[in-house]
Amino acid sequence: MLDRIAPESGPGDVVDVGGGTGGFAVPLAELGHRVTVVDSSPDALAALERRAAESGVKVRSFQGDATDLPDLLGPDAADLVLCHSVLEYVDDPAATMAALTGTVRPGGSVSLLVAGQIAAALHRAVAGHFDDARRVLADPSGRWGEGDRMPRRFTRESLSSLVRDAGLRVAELHGVRIFADLVPSGMIDSDADSAEALIALESAAAVHPVLRDLATQLHLVADKPAR
């Protein structure tokens, strides 16, 4: 994805929404990119500051929510906006997408990572919770009941529609963890060859037009049309 950020003009401006303690932000800053994290947790931002200092890089940070982006950063502030594991929890996904669209520059990209609805049904069924699996498929938010801690899940169609309605173009869509969460850990923990084979299988399945819909997480890259 980093090759999509104006590769011929050097480092880019990256905004990580809900970036927390800097799991993505610090490595991006180490690569030379100018990174800003926006997160609602002051504790997470304090940990981010320590992590960045230990790595010898500078990362800007602001406390706020995704919908605060226009006030915090202004329009066209980034070449790439990351919004990973955030859309599941916000009150208004459409408003969040509008904020992300306003923050990314024309010609830039938005990276979205969300929980997959179909995978949740599959995992509940494999665990023997067949009624829960049916509820996941029928519920507009992809939840299996009151005890479900995930407020919202997405399908490929619902996520793509959200992106297009915000004025972005779907560029790529990958499945993340299609088989990995179904394979008993004991099968691969002590066998390096099996682990490598699973990674190769995941890489091949990530872009498969059917299998990617079964992924625990969906990763969508969206582009903002250039003016």
* Residues 79-100 pLDDT 10s: 999 999 999 999 999 999 999 9
- Residue 218 has what DSSP assignment? E
3-class DSSP state for residue 22? coil
**Alpha-carbon distance 87 to 216, whole Å?**
15
pLDDT above 70: residue 7: no
Give the model confidence (pLDDT) of 9-53 as tens digits. Answer: 778 999 999 999 999 999 999 999 999 999 999 999 999 999 999
pLDDT given at position 6: 60
- The pTM for the full model equals 0.93
Least Cα distance to 62 among 85, 44, 81 occurs for 44
pLDDT band for position 189 (cuts 50, 70, 90): confident
Question: How far is residue 51's CA from residue 100's CA, in Å, rounded to a whole number?
Answer: 25
Q: Could you tell me the domains of the chain?
A: 2-116+154-178+208-223 (3.40.50.150)
> Does residue 138 register a pLDDT over 80?
yes
Q: How many CA atoms lie within 13 A of 83 on its CB side?
A: 29
Give the C-alpha separation, 36 to 30, whole Å. 13
Residue 127: is its pLDDT beyond 90? yes
Using a pLDDT cut of 90, give the percent of the chain over it: 89
